[in-house]
Amino acid sequence: MSQFVELFVTLLPADAGGRTSPVAPRYGTYRPFVRTEQGDHARVRFLEGPPQIGPGEGALVVAEFEDRRDASLFGGDLDLIEPDERRVGIVTVLRVMRPAISA
């Protein structure tokens, strides 16, 4: 079961090792990892936010952690990691959204 969270994402500028192109949170296709201070990785998928977030920019996004228990581990600032293990940004978990009650 997945867990939805509200994040503030700051992408590193390209000259600091970040991405060279923007991400588009609204398409649901950007699926990086986040890394905790303990080195744990969890896959996250961006779902909502501005049309684009460019290198060196920050924005509020809604994302989905693919494993619900992962979201409970997070707090504070986390590294944003791409599949090639490159650190491309920092995310701050602002809110963990409670799941809807199903009948």
Q: Which domain holds residue 38?
A: 3-96
Q: How many CB atoms lie within 10 A of CB 89?
A: 24
pLDDT at 42: 87
Please state the domain count of the chain: 1
The pLDDT tens digits along the chain (103 residues) read: 678 889 999 999 999 999 999 999 999 999 999 987 778 888 999 999 999 999 999 999 999 987 655 555 566 788 999 999 999 999 998 888 876 655 5
Q: What is the DSSP annotation of 25-50?
A: GGGS----EEE-TT--EEEEEEEES-
- Report the predicted TM-score, pTM, of the whole model to 2 decimal places: 0.85
Rounded to an integer, what distance in angstroms lies between the CA atom of residue 94 and that of residue 91?
A: 9
Residue 77 belongs to a domain:
yes
Rounded to an integer, what distance in angstroms lies between the CA atom of residue 14 and that of residue 43?
A: 22
Strand duo 87-96 + 3-11: pairing = antiparallel
CATH number of the CATH domain containing 27: 2.40.30.10
The residue with tokens 């700051």 is 10
pLDDT at 69: 54
pLDDT at 10: 97
Residue 58 belongs to a domain:
yes
